[in-house]
Structure 1
Amino acid sequence: MTVPDRTSTPSGTQRSGTQPSETHTALEEIYAKVKRVQRDLRPSDRIVQDLGIDSLATLEILLALEERFGVALVDNPRTAGTATVGDLVALLDELRADRAS
């Protein structure tokens, strides 16, 4: 997969010229496996509308992210508020930081 140089900022957006965050890269890998399509995910991509992720694919992706990072997403009410890739990356980063502390 070709990934443009970018990295997540605290707001979940990305800047050119730097590497993507570990969380963003993991999400791209899992998306590619579940959807069988390789694509660069932008923070502004809407999960349902732009990426075409249905409820079953959403569950597969969330479970894979839970397993990879050891956080709870499926049963977390905050997950329902994630509409974009940037939102999901920011939530994952926050949950991972909470877990580490």
Structure 2
Amino acid sequence: MTSPDNTTTSPETLRALEEVYAAVKRVRRDLRPSDRIVQDLEIDSLATLEILLGLEERFQVSLVDNVRAAGVTTVGDLVALLDELRAGRPS
């Protein structure tokens, strides 16, 4: 799967994000790489923190303390960052 900025996103990571999103927001939704996290998904700062912590626990990576996480604006950006962290590439 390729996001609008031509980065490849992992379907496995996207599904995991959908599951964490559903647990936090209490609503199931198919997420697209182009979805904007704040505007389209209506995620506030508390929900953002809960989602990041859920993803950290699931994938054993550090997102909350990651400088790049602050610049994530779309689902595709977040999935790409997670994939990089999971692969052990420097962020």
Q: Is TM-score (shorter-chain normalized) higher than 0.5?
A: yes
Aligned counterpart for 1:40 among listed residues 25, 30, 49: 30
Task: Give the letter for the 2:77 counterpart.
Answer: D
Q: Which runs of 4+ in 1 moved over 6 A?
A: none
Task: Give the letter for the 1:11 counterpart.
Answer: T
Aligned-pair CA distance for 1:81: 1.0
Q: What is aligned with 1:4?
A: none
SS at match of 2:88: helix
Aligned-pair CA distance for 1:86: 0.2
How far apart in 2 are the matches of 1:31 and 1:44? Answer: 16
Q: How many residues align?
A: 87
Distance 1:56 1:95, change over 3 A: same
Aligned-pair CA distance for 1:22: 1.2
The correspondence of residues 1-101 of structure 1 with structure 2, limited to 5 A, is 7=1, 11-12=7-8, 21-98=11-88
SS at match of 2:64: coil
Contact map agreement 1:79 1:91 (CA 8 A) in 2: yes
Structure 1 segments unaligned to the other structure (5+ residues): 1-6, 14-19
Larger RCO, structures 1/2 (Cα 8 Å, 6+ apart):
2
How far apart in 1 are the matches of 2:71 and 2:29? Answer: 23
Aligned-pair CA distance for 1:85: 0.1
Q: TM-score, length-normalised on structure 1?
A: 0.80
- Structure showing greater radius of gyration is 1
Structure 2 segments unaligned to the other structure (5+ residues): none
Q: Which has the higher strand share?
A: 1
